[in-house]
Structure 1
Amino acid sequence: MPWYAWLIIILALGSIVGSLLLLRDSATKLPLSAEQLKRIKERNIEQNARDARDD
């Protein structure tokens, strides 16, 4: 393969990795209240029970 094909492949992979790192660094956690966390945990328990019952 010619050198410029390798260069294009390296640039494409670098672009993908760079954008994934940028996305990871810019991600922030969602500030949730205690009530919201409680509701989420209750829904997870209910969904796990439904999944166990369906299997």
Structure 2
Amino acid sequence: MPLIGWIFILLAAGMVIGSLLLLRDSANRMPIDKERMKRIKARQAELEAQEKQRENK
């Protein structure tokens, strides 16, 4: 394979690895405020109560 082919392969591999590292670093940067977390937990409790009611029927 000519030299230009190896350069393209190395560039492509570098871009893939760089993108994966960037994705990993930014994966946990989504803070949820307290009000939204409270609504999420309330909704989850409501759904669990509905599931229990369906199981008991």
Distance in 2 between residues matched to 1:19 and 1:29, nearest whole Å: 18
User: What is the aligned-residue RMSD (CA, Å)?
Assistant: 2.9
Residue by residue over 1:8-44, the C-alpha shift from the partner in whole angstroms, topping out at 9 and shown as x without a partner, is: 111011011101211221221442524413424646x
Structure 2 match to 1:23: 23
TM-score (norm 2): 0.52
Structure with bigger gyration radius: 2
TM-score (norm 1): 0.53
**Equivalent AA in structure 1 for residue 16 of structure 2:** I
In structure 1, runs of 5+ residues without a counterpart are 47-55
Identity of paired residues, percent? Answer: 43
Further displaced range: 7-16 or 18-27? 18-27
Q: How many residues align?
A: 46
